[in-house]
Amino acid sequence: MSRIAFLDCEASSLDADSYPIEIGWILDDGTGASCLIRPEEKWVDWSFESAKVHGISPVMLARDGLSAADAGRMAYEALEDCVVHADSSWDGIWLHKLTHLANLPTIRVWHPYDLYSVEIAPLVAGLPRSSAESLAARIIRRAEEASDRQRTGRHRALDDARYLYDVWRGVQALAADAAG
């Protein structure tokens, strides 16, 4: 069985020319890693509004960032045998940019709601569709609220990946409680 991982990237902006500046992931055992990414020469897009959100500066990237290819290799080695989940399609795009630069295969990225649904499925089996959807939504919402209360950081890749992991663990616990 494949491992599960949660991925998040911070980026230069949310424009078509954006690029990843930080990548982070949490594996299903709770371990994780992240790194800053030094932009390629041809990557010139930068949003000062985005920088206000994530707090990462070009100076930090130049000083502390790995090359994009090295970041791609690092992410690929950690995630290649995982089913990877991220809450934005941008994360898959940015992961692809990194693995492409490292001449590595693309890793497919799924939305975490797909995983949450798998956890809840046994609980809602046999319920009318509207009741099943309502119960599933309540469980996910409660897990998200609990994870929000635990957060100490935000809009850094590792913190955001940890949030997705915590929601998943919360969904598992709430589904088990409801079933028991």
For residue 148, what pLDDT is reported? 86
* pLDDT for res 153: 67
Written in H, E and C, the secondary structure of the chain is CCEEEEEEEEECCCCCCCCEEEEEEEECCCCEEEEEEECCCCCCCCCHHHHHHHCCCHHHHHHHCEEHHHHHHHHHHHHCCEEEECCCHHHHHHHHHHHHHCCCCCCCEECHHHHHHHHHHHHHCCCCHHHHHHHHHHHHHHHHHHHHHHCCCCCCHHHHHHHHHHHHHHHHHHHHHHHC
Determine the pLDDT at residue 151: 78
52 and 90 assigned to the same domain:
yes
Strands 20-27 and 3-11: antiparallel
Q: What is the pLDDT of residue 152?
A: 73
Residues 84 and 168 in one domain: no
Instruction: Answer with the one of 110, 131, 163 that is the final residue of a domain.
Output: 110
Residues 91 and 117 in one domain: no
Same domain, 19 and 59: yes
In this structure, the answer to whether residues 102 and 135 fall within a common structural domain is no
Residues 68 and 130 in one domain: no
Q: Among all chains, which residue has been given the structure tokens 């046994």?
A: 122
Q: What is the CATH number of the domain that holds 9?
A: 3.30.420.10
Residue 137, domain extent: 112-179
Residue that terminates a domain, selected from 110, 126, 143: 110
100 with 15, same domain: the answer is: yes
How high is the pLDDT of residue 149?
A: 85
Does one domain contain both 19 and 46? yes
Number of domains in the chain: 2
Block means of pLDDT (10 residues each) for the chain, length 180 residues? 93 95 98 98 95 95 98 98 96 97 97 91 88 90 90 85 95 86
Say whether both 21 and 86 belong to one domain. Answer: yes
> Phi and psi (nearest 5°) for 122?
-65, -30
Same domain, 126 and 87: no
pLDDT of residue 132: 87
